[in-house]
Amino acid sequence: MPFDSKDPDTIAALKLAVDEAVATATAGLLSKRDELLGSTKALKDKLAEHELHATELEAKEQAAREETLKKAGKVDELLASQKTSYQKVIDTQNERNEKLINTVRDSRVNEALVKAIAAEKGVPELLLPVMKNRVKFDPATFAIEIVNADGTPMLTADGRVASVADLVIEYKSNDLYGRAFEANVGSGGGSQGDRFSGAGNTVNPFVAPKGGKVDVTAVSKYYTEMVASGKGEIAKAQAKEAGINIK
């Protein structure tokens, strides 16, 4: 049903319709997600149990081989077998250390980027994949360094070592990636919807066109599709520009 988006009652009706559409669209997905997470955990536990059993069995077999070589007086073969065994232990430990470092790096880098992106009202889901390539992590000190596209240290215009916030500002001012940030309503010309381009649109669907009306059904469908495609935050920002706060 068409309505005037400036009317408080119709805004409330739109918000309710959007919330209901989102709840309906995501209920099945959330149930399936929980089911898959449970299955994944069970499989991981089973795999871990299998790997532990395999490791214990291999250790016993290695010990038996070395005992046989020792009794036979085959010193050279015994030493070679022990060397191979020790190398496997070292390789396994190095692999575990590398996985741990990668986990810490991802957590540290993601946390810093998400915080800086949020401060500039950007969409982390859209920006993280491209911005992570510009961040180096030192596993020895856990320090983060911002680099240019060619890998050299990034410096600001005044010669200062760039921070994560400086990197976000650079992307915000970019013609392409700037679309992933909430528009500055207080600057420029045109309507709020015309200035918002985060979803790749030139018009905010939550804002009624000049002299026209906003259709609740159409907007609800649009929001549901945006959430399903992982662009819910963009749609929320568009709704906020129209005076509608969606949680």
Model pLDDT for residues 172-198, shown as the tens digit of each residue: 988 888 888 886 433 333 333 333 334
**What pLDDT does residue 169 have?**
93
Q: How far is 145 from 164, CA to CA, in rounded Å?
A: 8
**Start-to-end C-alpha separation, the chain:** 23
Q: How far is 87 from 187, CA to CA, in rounded Å?
A: 63
This prediction has a pTM of 0.44
Q: 83: number of CA atoms within 13 Å, CB side? A: 6
- Local confidence band at 7 (pLDDT 50, 70, 90 cut-offs): low
**What pLDDT does residue 189 have?**
39
pLDDT at 75 over 70: yes
**Average pLDDT score over the chain:** 78
Mapped onto helix, strand or coil, the DSSP state of residue 215 is strand
Model pLDDT for residues 115-140, shown as the tens digit of each residue: 999 999 888 888 989 999 999 998 88
Strand partners, 153: 147
**What pLDDT does residue 97 have?**
87
Q: What residue ranges in 173-246 does DSSP mark as E strands?
A: 214-215
Q: Percent of the chain, pLDDT > 90? A: 15
Better-predicted residue by pLDDT, 3 or 178: 178
**What pLDDT does residue 86 have?**
82
- Give me the phi and psi of 3, to 5 degrees please: -155, 170
Least confident of 101-105, 181-185, 189-193, 240-244: 189-193
Which burial class, exposed, middle or buried, applies to 164 when counting CB atoms under 10 A from its CB (0-12, 13-18, 19+)? buried
Q: What residue ranges in 82-203 does DSSP mark as E strands?
A: 135-138, 143-146
Which burial class, exposed, middle or buried, applies to 170 when counting CB atoms under 10 A from its CB (0-12, 13-18, 19+)? middle
Q: Percent of the chain, pLDDT > 70? A: 83
Model pLDDT for residues 17-68, shown as the tens digit of each residue: 777 777 776 777 777 777 777 778 777 777 777 777 777 777 788 888 888 8
DSSP string for 39-81: HHHHHHHHHHHHHHHHHHHHHHHHHHHHHHHHHTT-HHHHHHH
- Local confidence band at 5 (pLDDT 50, 70, 90 cut-offs): low
Contact predicate 96/55, CB 8 Å:
no
Tokens of 2: 């068409």
pLDDT at 165 over 70: yes
